[in-house]
A and B are shown apart, each in its own frame.
Chain A
Amino acid sequence: MALTQLPDAAASSPEQPAVVTVAGSGRRGTRSRRGGTTGGGRADGLSSRWSGRRRAGLGGWLLRLALAVVFAFPLLFMFVSSLKPDQQIFGDLSSVAAFLPIGNISFDNYAAVFDRVPAARFLINSIGISAITVLLGILVNSLAAFALSRMNMRGKSIILTLIIATLIVPFETLALPLVWWVNQLPSLTLDGFSLGFSKGWIDTYQVQIIPFIANAFSIYLFHQYFESIPKELDEAARMDGAGWFRIYRQVVMPLSGPAVATVAILTFLPAWNSYLWPLMVVQTEELRPVMVGVQYFFQLNVSWGEVMAYASLITLPVVALFIAFQRSFVNSIASSGVKG
């Protein structure tokens, strides 16, 4: 079936005339081609900017080195300190030894972390909560953005503006009303073999997931990306008999890899870092995420080495994820024109 091939063909080489043939009329074809070249041109521009930077010379390198130091040294300090006993961490503070794994080095702090905190359980919780939030977030927000970008309805731009406007309300403002609200929601419970309803989502997994699926910024990112995908592709697909969902699933989404990667990372980070919300709505230890675990180390006598060991443990998945998605993440940020 020609249609199933289409997105892949378009993705690998946007200027392929195949697009034009399916699209039908010459005029549309030209526009489509233009759309395609714009994409290509963007990529060229990007690479030429990179080579421009490559020629920046010594000053540029020094600047980059300085920035790398600023961002890498706290991580280095964290990891190095996680290997030292408390007294040595403080003793090394005033010298460069703070960044070097020297002295009394061991993994004792890591072993102690697991005695103090159910770290494995917290990690599994956070991985589950973040993964489900990301997956459902990609689905729901891309569908919303698809509707706003592709469907013919009045007031689309007003709706989009309203959605974007919600970005200015900080979460701290919404937190308390949200606690009240989730406490009123019904949840389905399984009591023996009979299904029942109980009131309140407090102290559950879903209260940590559902409120964070719909996200204005993700909708906006998807919308901007979808707008750059030529509408002629939809029209071609429709002529082949595809409906909205099929266009979404087989034309638009396969072309939106970088946007998906960006939304995935931007949804993952706050989900992984969430602290205030689980503090307010989760009471059972078995349901807590990793960030709440940090507090376990701040007793009257703080064990700093263990703090650093735990911090290293919970930073690792984030760093790994970023390295894995780095390329598409940077590409998407650069090409969608969204900075920071």
Chain B
Amino acid sequence: MRHAKKRLIVASVLAASLVASLAGCASAGTGTDGKNGELTLWTHNGGNTEELAAVQAVVDKYNASQDKTTVKVQAFPQSSYNDSVVAAAASGKLPCIVDIDGPNVPNWAWAKYLTPLDLSVDLDENLPSTLGKWNGDTYSVGYYDVALALFARTSVLEKAGIRVATIDEPWTKDEFDAALKALKADGTWDKPLDLGTADVGEWYPYAYSPLLQSFGGDLINRDDMQSADGALNGKKALEWAEWMQSLVTDGYVAPKSGADAALDLENNVSAIMLGGSWAAGKLSTALGDDLSVLPLPDLGEGVKIGGGSWQWGVTSGCADPEAAMDYLSFSLSPENIADVAKATATIPATDAAAALVPGFEEGGDLALFREFSKQFAELRPETPAYPFISSEFTKATQDILNGGDPQATLDKAVKAIDGNIKSNGGYTQK
């Protein structure tokens, strides 16, 4: 009996020391980041080998350029990055520098994760869609933006007698509808247009709310950002919803598309695809000269595409914000921006950087995307309510594509959005 007890005690002590040693070998960081001249930078590039290497290169250059501050990169996979940041903010473990998806900036600024930028570079040079602003302050700046376009085979369009749209003369709504009808009649494609409907998430507001805006509707009344009534459920919005639904009922679009729109276009499963500039490289390799990159159709109020990609901000809990601002200012040199854009095939944020990236110079292959971004980009509403609006819009659009009553669905979304804004006191102060 005594023997057994002794063993039990030994076992408990062993177990306890095991726990202690585990605690010992893990990094036990408490307190805020930025002390002792060490800054941590979080990025959404886990697994994105090219962009991560480009960011790491900028950081290495900065670390070598001075000896006061050392910046350390911590990468997270993109699809779980936001959750990681919100969890870290809840437990007071945010790093000094974070990566942010553009439309989330107002929400993170309002929640006091971020502090306004105070940089030594002139941000007026940047594409407007690469800056994250809220309440008159700039909270974030990006190295690049991305743009949306329609991708198709020139040979397919010509065979069906469809005009190749240009940036000065995009398709009108009637032209677009007629094109889809002709492609459907050809019989080669079960669903000629791939809108990427399987990609539920931020893709929905990013890709489809510009279509809504092209009709004349919007996600919210932008004058005071207090209500979506009239914008998201008015006459124009209803026209958009009915049109989206007709794309499905006429058999042009699948309510749930294939998992990879670019591969489906490559395999000739679809004829026209709505996609991002990031797919251009891959498609141009696969289709060569036959690839046509077209602007989105003008559905009434001009062509619109989404704006705002990943940007950088400094957290409010950072122990050494001056050092963090110094790093960001350093990182925004044209050479650094160009290096990141080259690695990621994205649109460089400044003209000076664009001149350094092959393809983006005047008349280059990729310059078209920069023009799309400059002329058509519409920012998603800059309000802390955006993450909520985004998920409501996604739900509503899915319902509409799957046959829900357009007016009732939009009214429901408006009610939910207005309720959320009210219950947060209008998101005016915190």
Contacts and interface: CB of A to CB of B under 8 A. Distances in A.
Interface stretch (A39-47, A144-152, A266-274, A284-292): A284-292
A179 B83 CA distance: 13
B26 interface: yes
Nearest to A191: B28
A304 B1 contact: no
B30 A199 contact: yes
B278 A301 contact: yes
A206 B19 contact: yes
A241 B84 contact: no
B77 A295 contact: yes
Interface in B278-300: 278-279, 282, 286
A205 B78 contact: no
B28 A198 contact: yes
B79 interface: yes
B262 interface: yes
Given A283-B88, A285-B75, A297-B47, A87 B263 contact: yes
Contacts of B20: 188
B84 A279 contact: yes
B28 A87 contact: no
B419 to A, nearest CB: 23
A115 interface: yes
A189 interface: yes
Nearest to B17: A188
A280 interface: yes
B23 A87 contact: no
A280 B87 contact: yes
Interface string B251-275: 0000000111011101101000000
A86 B263 contact: yes
Nearest to A295: B77
Contact of B24 (A176, A189, A210, A301): A189
A292 B77 contact: yes
A49 interface: no
Given A203-B26, A283-B84, A284-B27, A298 B77 contact: yes
Interface of A is mostly: helix
Interface string A90-129: 1100000000000000000000000111000000000000
Nearest to A247: B4
Nearest to B49: A116
B7 interface: yes
A263 interface: no
Contacts of B77: 292-293, 295-296, 298
B267 A301 contact: no
Interface size class of A (residues with CB under 8 A): 35 or more
B28 A117 contact: no
A296 B93 CA distance: 22
A244 interface: yes
B19 A210 contact: yes
Contacts of A285: 46, 74-75
B133 to A, nearest CB: 25
A86 B20 CA distance: 46
Contacts of A68: none
A285 to B, nearest CB: 6
A302 B25 CA distance: 35
A132 to B, nearest CB: 8
B282 A204 contact: no
Contact of B22 (A205, A279, A280, A301): A205
A304 B48 CA distance: 14
Contacts of A179: 87, 90-91
B83 A300 contact: no
B78 A298 contact: yes
A281 interface: yes
B80 interface: yes
Contact of A206 (B26, B46, B84, B90): B26
B4 A204 contact: no
A254 to B, nearest CB: 15
A285 B262 CA distance: 31
Given A86-B260, A285-B75, A180 B7 contact: no
A180 B279 contact: no
A145 B24 CA distance: 31
A206 B22 contact: yes
A44 B304 CA distance: 73
Given A245-B7, A246-B4, A187 B23 contact: yes
B4 A245 contact: yes
B276 interface: yes
B408 interface: no
Interface of B: 1, 4-5, 7-8, 15, 18-20, 22-30, 42, 46-49, 74-80, 83-84, 87-88, 90-93, 146, 258-260, 262-264, 266-267, 269, 276, 278-279, 282, 286
The 5 closest A-B pairs by CB, nearest first: A296-B47, A295-B77, A204-B26, A243-B1, A245-B4
Given A279-B87, A298-B79, A304-B260, 15 more contacts: A90-B263, A91-B267, A116-B47, A188-B23, A190-B24, A200-B30, A203-B26, A242-B4, A243-B4, A246-B1, A295-B46, A295-B47, A299-B48, A301-B278, A304-B263
9 contacts: A86-B263, A202-B88, A242-B1, A243-B1, A249-B4, A296-B77, A299-B48, A301-B278, A301-B282
